[in-house]
C-alpha cells in the first residue's frame, strides 16, 4: 500500500557531482562577496581618515607656530 513511500531515490553520480559543484560555487561566491565587502569598508575608512587628516593639516597651517619662538637664536 505504501511501497511508493519506501522506495528511495538514488541520484546518479552526475547529479551528485552537479550538486557538489554548485555547493562549492556558492561557498566561493559568499567568500568573494565577504572579501569585497571587507575591502570596501576598509577603503571607505581609509578615505574618511585621509580626509580628516587633510582637514587637520589645513587647520594647523592657519595656527601660529609657537615653537618657532624657541628655536630662534
Q: How many domains does the chain have?
A: 1
Give residue-wise pLDDT tens across range 7-34: 677 888 999 999 999 999 999 999 999 9
What pLDDT score was predicted for residue 6? 66
What pLDDT score was predicted for residue 24? 98
C-alpha span between 48 and 56 (Å, rounded): 12
Single pTM value for the model: 0.62
C-alpha span between 24 and 18 (Å, rounded): 10
Domain limits for position 12? 3-71
Q: Which pairs with CB-CB distance under 8 Å and at least 24 residues apart come from 15-21?
A: none
* pLDDT classification of 48: cutoffs 50, 70, 90: very high
Using CA atoms, how far residue 7 sits from 1, 10, 11, 13, 32, in Å, is 12, 9, 13, 18, 40
Phi and psi for 26 in degrees, rounded to 5? -65, -35
Q: Please tell me what DSSP assigns to residue 66.
A: T
Amino acid at each position: 500500500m505504501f511501497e511508493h513511500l519506501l522506495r528511495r531515490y538514488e541520484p546518479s553520480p552526475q547529479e551528485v557531482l552537479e550538486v557538489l559543484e554548485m555547493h562549492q560555487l556558492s561557498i566561493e561566491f559568499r567568500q568573494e562577496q565577504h572579501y569585497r565587502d571587507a575591502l570596501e569598508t576598509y577603503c571607505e575608512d581609509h578615505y574618511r581618515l585621509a580626509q580628516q587628516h587633510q582637514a587637520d593639516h589645513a587647520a594647523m597651517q592657519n595656527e601660529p607656530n609657537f615653537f618657532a619662538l624657541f628655536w630662534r637664536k
